[in-house]
Structure 1
Amino acid sequence: MATTWWVLAALGVALVWAVWVFNGLVQRRNRIANAFGQIDVQLKRRHDLVPNLVEVAKRYLAHEAATLEAVTRARGAAVSAAGSVRQQPADAQALAQLAVAEAALAGSLGRLMVVAEAYPELKADATMRSLGEELTSTENRIGFARQAYNDEALAYNDAAARFPDLVVARLLGFLPATMLQATQSEAERQAPRVAF
């Protein structure tokens, strides 16, 4: 009889522990979704700035239609990819597609800014300058939001990989969260060289 009580007590403790681990993993997974929500807010802000930037640039860059169309296409792809991630914030494939789309958007915006530098009237336009500053500010906010997302993903992955919690995580299908990678190319990440 005493053995039965010990077995029941051990099962009860194991059940309470499993529920506690499960709730902790759910909470961390929700924090990842919240962190992506912060990224999404900033991406939406950037996506909303792009049409205004293109519209202002159109007045000056009539013969640069290909550059403006590339920016518009890249924005559409980025908006679509962000919508996919919004549905599944921890989906590795959706995050990879978002990273590719955002890199393409950043590249096309960079080309637009380079082209704009060649047009003094556009460069001097107050609206264009204001939009450029907003875009730069938004890029910084996106960087901070990505860091917060990666911090939450790391905390979740650490919690799901710790023994004995990983037993509950694997049994209940808590897959590792994907970390966001830098969207810059290797060439962009290299430190500038100064030569005399």
Structure 2
Amino acid sequence: MELFIWVGIPVILIFLVAGMYNNLVAARQNCNQGWADIDAALRQRHDLVPNLVETVKGYATHESSTLTAVIAARAGALDANSPDQLEKAEKVLSGALGNLMAVAENYPDLKASANFQTLQGELADIEDKLGASRRAFNAAVATYNTAIQSFPSNIVAGMFNFPERTYFELDRNERSTVSAVPKVGFN
């Protein structure tokens, strides 16, 4: 019995710590995968932006400040080196793209262009994918953060330096746009 106490209990503790460590690693990897999915959707959007700008440029030549802002915002997003920088740059790009779409509303020929409609559809599809990726990433972050804060895995997380992750959140401007109730009217 004494042998079990001196050998068995430490072996059981080692297996418990190893299991908790492996669960934390799996949760961290889910966060990394979620971020990679966001990154893939953002790259698709970045690749689409030059075609969209060129199409608008053909119809709206005197809207150069809007087009320049979109190009600059895309460059800023491509140059981002960290998730925090990328999140900020993407918010700027989203705003610039919103302005570009607002400009397009003033040009009926542009809105009727098959090329523009195709690009606008692709952008909407990418935005949907990006939204789904954000939700999946935030769910993975919630699971991970819960695991590193829950007892007894918080002890293992502290021993092996598992830092808390931040959510990919909308800023106030995006929140108000997203949560705005659409108005429906019949003429």
With normalisation by structure 1, the TM-score equals 0.86
Q: Secondary structure at the match of 2:151?
A: coil
Correspondence for 1:6: 5
Give a deviation string over 1:51-98, Cα, whole Å, max 9, x none: 0001111111211111111100101111222xx3xxxxxxxxx33322
The alpha-carbon deviation at position 142 of structure 1 amounts to: 0.4
The alignment's C-alpha RMSD in Å is: 1.7
Correspondence for 1:100: 88
2:127 is the alignment partner of 1:139: yes
2:67 is the alignment partner of 1:68: yes
Contact 1:21–1:168 (Cα < 8 Å) also in 2:
yes
Correspondence for 1:43: 42
The alpha-carbon deviation at position 122 of structure 1 amounts to: 1.1
For 1:157-176, what aligned pairs fall within 5 Å after superposition?
Answer: 157-176=145-164
Correspondence for 1:90: none
**CA shift in 2, pair 1:5/1:190, >3 Å:** closer
Q: Which runs of 4+ in 1 moved over 4 A?
A: none
Mapped to 2, the partners of 1:39 and 1:193 lie a distance apart of 27
How many equivalent pairs are there? Answer: 182
2:27 is the alignment partner of 1:28: yes
Give a deviation string over 1:20-66, Cα, whole Å, max 9, x none: 11111111111111111111111111111100001111111211111
With normalisation by structure 2, the TM-score equals 0.90
Mapped to 2, the partners of 1:138 and 1:3 lie a distance apart of 63
Query: Sequence identity, in percent?
Result: 36
**CA shift in 2, pair 1:183/1:78, >3 Å:** farther
Letter in 2 for 1:191: A
Structure 1 runs not aligned, ≥5 long: 85-93
Correspondence for 1:188: 177
Q: Secondary structure at the match of 2:62?
A: coil
Q: Secondary structure at the match of 1:175?
A: coil
Mapped to 1, the partners of 2:51 and 2:179 lie a distance apart of 31
The alpha-carbon deviation at position 167 of structure 1 amounts to: 0.4
